[in-house]
Amino acid sequence: MIRLSRTLLRRYSTAGGNEFPEFYTKNHVELTSLQRAVLAGGSAIVSLIDPSRGDMIACLGETTGVQALKYCQQRMLLSPEGAKILADKPRINTATVDFSKLKELPDGTLGKTYYDFLVINQVSPDSRDNVKFIDDPELAYVMQRYREVHDIFHAVLLMPTTMLGEVSVKWVEALQTKLPMCIGGALFGAARLRPRQRKLYVKHHLPWAINTGKKAGFLLNTYFENRWEQSLDDFHKEMNIQRLV
- Closest C-alpha among 171, 172, 168, 150 to residue 159: 168
What 3-state DSSP class applies to 115? helix
Distance of alpha carbon 51 from alpha carbon 171, whole angstroms: 16
Distance of alpha carbon 232 from alpha carbon 201, whole angstroms: 24
Distance of alpha carbon 117 from alpha carbon 111, whole angstroms: 10
CB 14 within 8 Å of CB 96: yes
Task: Name every residue whose Cβ is closer than 8 Å to that of residue 214 and which is 6 or more positions away in sequence.
Answer: 175
* Residues in binding site for Zn(2+): 150-151, 154, 166
* Residues in binding site: 150-151, 154, 166
